[in-house]
Amino acid sequence: MSRSEELFGRAKQHIPGGVNSPVRAFNGVGGDPVFVDCAAGPYLYDPEGKRYIDYVGSWGPMILGHSHHEVIEAVSSVINKGLSFGAPTELETEMADRVCELVPSMELVRMVSSGTEATMSAIRLARGFTGRDKIVKFEGCYHGHSDSLLVKAGSGMLTLGEPSSPGVPASLAEHTLTLTYNSSDQVRDAFKQYGEQIAAIIVEPVAGNMNCIPPQAGFLPTLREVCDEYGAVLIFDEVMTGFRVALGGAQAVYGIKPDLTTLGKVIGGGMPVGAFGGRLDIMQQIAPLGPVYQAGTLSGNPVAMTAGLKTLELISESGFYDRLSAKVEALVSGIMAEAKSAGIPLAENHVGGMFGLFFTDQEKVDDFQGAMACDQNRFKAFYHAMLDRGIYLAPSAFEAGFVSEAHTDEDLKATIEAAAGAFQSL
Ligand SMILES: Cc1ncc(COP(=O)(O)O)c(CN[C@@H](CN)CCC(=O)O)c1O
């Protein structure tokens, strides 16, 4: 029995499923999860010291690579000043100033401690600002686990939502409309039917929770148009894409200005940080300025702000995203070439520092249905063949992959070679 297997057995005694977040349990790929002892640069090390090249990066935050020395030094320099005060600090002002500078659509920003808190707060704010109850989301997009967002499409087209988890009241779920990502027609139809009742659209401007699926031309502009026409709030959930696909996020890549933006992951540099912000008139409704309540004991935590601020400083250096995108392009094109020579049907999508591989003979995958039609068994076999070769991918066919600044050309080459071997084993 490996040390990870032993640790997993122990973990299951007092932690549900042995993990503190479900995807980590490896149910999507089978087998036991790799426990991590430590990480540095692009590498994870398991308790027995086996090294893996990491393409999960803690699900996005570790864009600089693990244990970046300048981030560690910055955190070390403040940690002796105290861990948490529950009182305002200058660090929070510095973070707010920096975020509003990097994401100009955010005129005011509130710190929270997770992406879930960010999206939950943004939805409440949009409802409070408009006085409306309905929201629109898209199948395959994930916005954290708050009740209004754990809702799947109703049985018929444009019917109101049904809970996607026990514990979510049907009376709440029915206010959520779940549409097809990249279907501008469906969005227009929904607004024709419910427009005056819709408080907000929330969307991943590049979907990263049904693998990696970019917006098709016209989709994001349609969301902007209908929100303007019907007075709904357009929320870009950039928890994953923020500072991942570009310094200004997906809104900078696609040139669409949302009314609210949610952030997480990279903004904390590995520490628990989320944020929501946007238009002044909307954000002024947030307590204590306005009547929409929102709060958090550890919001703006000084140690987390320090890790986030140093991360934002380093990713702002010139050429950072050119280098990151070039690494992704080299990785994906190399893997695609090996799949082709092995006769394995494979498709890919990539935007900035994130990518997705699809075991399918479809030319391109651009919606949830396409992602669901992929060969999950082949993905699982590929996953374990890569893991055996020391490559750590996201343990689910429906997650995006992430490259960091720390991944070297040698790491990418080794990954491509591992993929060549894995394809032969399929
Ligand atoms: C677009 C988007 N919005 C919100 C969230 C929720 O963020 P958290 O509450 O997990 O910090 C996420 C969280 N992403 C998942 C991975 N796809 C986190 C991994 C996990 O659940 O353990 C997200 O991708």
**Residue closest by Cα to atom 24 of ligand 1:** 240
Note the pLDDT tens digit of each residue in 223-260: 999 999 999 999 999 999 999 999 999 999 999 999 99
Note the pLDDT tens digit of each residue in 301-312: 999 999 999 999
Q: Counting Cβ atoms within 10 Å, is residue 297 exposed (0-12), middle (13-18) or buried (19+)? A: exposed
Q: Measured in angstroms, how far is the CA atom of residue 59 from the centroid of ligand 1?
A: 8
Our answer on whether the CB atom of 144 is closer than 6 Å to any ligand 1 atom is yes
- Sequence-distant (6+) residues with CB within 8 A of 322 are none
For 54-111, give the DSSP string: ESSGGGTT-TT-BT-HHHHHHHHHHHTT-S--SS--HHHHHHHHHHHHHSTT-SEEEE
Could you tell which of 204, 209, 251 is best to mutate to test the pocket of ligand 1, judged by most ligand atoms within 8 Å of the CB? Answer: 209
Note the pLDDT tens digit of each residue in 356-404: 999 999 999 999 999 999 999 999 999 999 999 999 999 999 999 999 9
How high is the pLDDT of residue 153?
82
Please give the single-letter amino acid code of residue 405: E
- Whether 237 is catalytic: yes
Could you tell which of 116, 121, 147, 263 is best to mutate to test the pocket of ligand 1, judged by most ligand atoms within 8 Å of the CB? Answer: 116
Q: Considering the entire predicted model, what is its pTM?
A: 0.98
For 116-138, give the DSSP string: HHHHHHHHHHHHHHH---EEEEE
Our answer on whether the CB atom of 396 is closer than 6 Å to any ligand 1 atom is no
d(CA 221, CA 192): 17
d(CA 249, CA 178): 24
Q: Measured in angstroms, how far is the CA atom of residue 363 from the centroid of ligand 1?
A: 28
Give the pLDDT band (50/70/90) at residue 155: confident
Our answer on whether the CB atom of 238 is closer than 6 Å to any ligand 1 atom is no
Give the pLDDT band (50/70/90) at residue 157: low
Note the pLDDT tens digit of each residue in 34-62: 999 999 999 999 999 999 999 999 999 99
Q: Measured in angstroms, how far is the CA atom of residue 380 from the centroid of ligand 1?
A: 22
Note the pLDDT tens digit of each residue in 277-286: 999 999 999 9
How high is the pLDDT of residue 142?
96
Our answer on whether the CB atom of 142 is closer than 6 Å to any ligand 1 atom is yes
d(CA 272, CA 269): 8
**Chain length of the chain:** 426
Our answer on whether the CB atom of 23 is closer than 6 Å to any ligand 1 atom is yes
For 250-261, b where at least 16 C-beta lie within 10 A, e where not — what string?
bbbbbebebbbb
Our answer on whether the CB atom of 161 is closer than 6 Å to any ligand 1 atom is no
Mean pLDDT of the residues in the chain: 97
Q: Measured in angstroms, how far is the CA atom of residue 337 from the centroid of ligand 1?
A: 31
**Residue closest by Cα to atom 21 of ligand 1:** 21
- Atom of ligand 1 lying closest to residue 400 CA: 17
Q: Is the pLDDT of residue 154 over 90?
A: no
